[in-house]
């Protein structure tokens, strides 16, 4: 089997799906790309059993066949070759692969393509189309709040609930929760799934910068994404997602509106002086003034700053993990942020003041118990 392809084009396609491949996979052949040629089209698959990514490109070839090619050595070779046509010659009996370029020849050992795990088929049970812009925004606004706790697998992914009027994306790690809702994406046959974090990270890094359509098809066990010449199939998390709506407090009659950037900058400075284990900062709102303070008793470090804000409600003092507040504000695309509180021992909510008509975002963060120092 022989084919000719541009080194730069091949490198670009391989790089877009290489993120799936893990070091020391369960099945050693998964350290390879699966190359399949038919009618001048090269289909390349990368997989880790849970997630598979596939891309296609045109090549010069009159033959058909398949081979598993070691991913790392192939990528490293292509990265160091100048742009040029390269010829792949595959011996289908010994599985050896020879790459010929203007610079020289490179020989590597491939593996039998039949040993490569089959990519699951996804029947068209449920489907929805969304733009890359919407999908990127949904991933960016939720993925940072997913949990790393493998004992609670449902929380290690993003919950997606499709309904007739909107689509809701939810992520939580038990301490904070993000609910991101789009009214411009809906499905007649409503359904809810949990997409693993790794698959979403791969999607985020692969989605093109120009705004195009993404076709999403899923059944009870797998989801299938297609955009441009790239396809991704991932196994869904088969667990029950926590009843997140019950966690969101409804009687939040203590409101504070503040310039997001001012507060973010202040938090970053104050957090330097917080305890390195708890990262605790104290927010004290009195009238139209917010005082942010932190102290680390172990090292006698302390800091405080004052910011002006708009405040409607009783004076309140509440503690939060600074890392969480910084991360949430960093991901909130707004000029002014609105904080909603009900009590100093209840969750606080953060919402943007300038809202997009198509999206609704709510961020919830649990407070930390304040040490009352004098």
Shared domain for 95 and 14, answered yes or no, is: yes
For residue 305, being part of any structural domain is answered with: yes
Residue 191 has pLDDT above 60, yes or no: yes
Give me the helices (H) in 104-171, please.
Answer: 132-142
List pLDDT tens digits, range 235-253.
Answer: 999 999 999 999 999 889 9
For residue 153, being part of any structural domain is answered with: yes
Shared domain for 257 and 358, answered yes or no, is: yes
Please give the model's pTM, rounded to 2 decimal places.
0.92
For residue 194, being part of any structural domain is answered with: yes
Shared domain for 130 and 232, answered yes or no, is: yes
For residue 41, being part of any structural domain is answered with: yes
Residue 374 has pLDDT above 60, yes or no: no
For residue 70, being part of any structural domain is answered with: yes
Shared domain for 104 and 183, answered yes or no, is: no
Confidence of residue 266 (pLDDT cuts 50, 70, 90): very high
DSSP state of 64: -
Shared domain for 281 and 211, answered yes or no, is: no
For residue 371, being part of any structural domain is answered with: no
Shared domain for 106 and 132, answered yes or no, is: no
For residue 277, being part of any structural domain is answered with: yes
Shared domain for 130 and 231, answered yes or no, is: yes
Output the CA–CA distances (angstroms, integers) from residue 41 to 11, 13, 56, 67, 155, in the order listed. 16, 13, 7, 14, 40
Confidence of residue 123 (pLDDT cuts 50, 70, 90): confident
Q: What is the mean pLDDT of residues 153-163?
A: 96
List pLDDT tens digits, range 206-228.
Answer: 999 899 999 999 988 999 999 99
Shared domain for 57 and 94, answered yes or no, is: yes
Shared domain for 259 and 354, answered yes or no, is: yes
Shared domain for 89 and 132, answered yes or no, is: no
Q: Which of the listed residues 214, 245, 276 is the one where a domain comes to its end? A: 245
Residue 15 has pLDDT above 90, yes or no: yes
Q: Which of the listed residues 213, 245, 277 is the one where a domain comes to its end? A: 245
For residue 197, being part of any structural domain is answered with: yes
Q: How far is CA 47 from the centre of its chain?
A: 18
- CATH number of the CATH domain containing 108: 3.10.150.10
Give me the helices (H) in 143-182, please.
Answer: none
Q: What is the mean pLDDT of residues 163-182?
A: 96
Strands 213-218 and 280-286: unpaired
Residues of the domain holding 276: 249-365
Shared domain for 93 and 146, answered yes or no, is: no
Q: What rounded mean pLDDT belongs to the chain?
A: 94
Shared domain for 259 and 353, answered yes or no, is: yes
Q: Which of the listed residues 185, 214, 245 is the one where a domain comes to its end? A: 245
Output the CA–CA distances (angstroms, integers) from residue 333 to 24, 265, 310, 356, 362, in the order listed. 39, 15, 19, 10, 12
Number of domains in the chain: 3
- Retrieve residue 348's tokens: 């606080």
- Retrieve residue 154's tokens: 């449902």
- Retrieve residue 18's tokens: 């290489």
Tokens 């066990």: give the residue.
221
């Amino acid at each position: 089997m022989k084919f000719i392809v541009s080194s730069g084009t091949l490198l670009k396609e391989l790089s877009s799906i290489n993120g799936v491949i893990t070091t020391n996979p369960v099945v050693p052949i998964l350290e390879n790309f699966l190359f399949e040629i038919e009618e001048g089209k090269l289909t390349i698959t990368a997989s880790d059993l849970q997630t598979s990514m596939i891309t296609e490109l045109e090549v010069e070839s009159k033959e058909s066949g398949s081979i598993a090619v070691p991913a790392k050595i192939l990528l490293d070779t292509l990265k160091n070759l100048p742009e040029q046509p390269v010829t792949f010659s595959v011996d289908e009996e010994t599985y050896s692969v020879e790459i010929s370029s203007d610079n020289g020849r490179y020989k590597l050992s491939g593996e039998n393509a039949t040993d490569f795990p089959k990519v699951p088929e996804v029947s068209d049970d449920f489907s929805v189309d969304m733009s890359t812009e919407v999908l990127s925004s949904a991933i960016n606004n939720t993925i940072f709040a997913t949990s790393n706790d493998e004992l609670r697998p449902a929380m290690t992914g993003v919950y997606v609930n499709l309904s007739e009027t909107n689509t809701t994306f939810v992520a939580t790690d038990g301490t904070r929760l993000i609910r991101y809702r789009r009214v411009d994406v809906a499905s007649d046959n409503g359904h809810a799934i949990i997409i693993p974090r790794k698959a979403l990270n791969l999607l985020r890094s692969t989605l093109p910068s120009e705004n195009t359509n993404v076709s999403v098809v899923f059944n009870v066990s797998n989801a299938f994404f297609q955009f441009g010449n790239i396809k991704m199939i991932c196994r869904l998390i088969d667990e029950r997602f926590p009843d997140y709506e019950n966690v969101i407090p409804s009687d939040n009659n203590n409101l504070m509106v503040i310039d997001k950037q001012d507060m973010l900058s202040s938090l970053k400075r104050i957090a330097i002086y917080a305890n390195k284990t708890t990262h605790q900062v104290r927010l004290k709102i009195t009238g139209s003034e917010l005082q942010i303070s932190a102290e680390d008793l172990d090292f006698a470090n302390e800091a405080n700053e004052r910011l002006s804000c708009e405040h409607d409600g009783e004076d309140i003092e509440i503690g939060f993990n600074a890392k969480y507040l910084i991360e949430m504000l960093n991901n909130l695309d707004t000029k002014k942020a609105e904080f909603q509180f009900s009590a100093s021992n209840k969750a606080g909510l953060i919402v943007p003041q300038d809202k997009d008509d198509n999206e609704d975002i709510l961020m919830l963060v649990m407070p930390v118990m304040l040490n009352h120092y004098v």
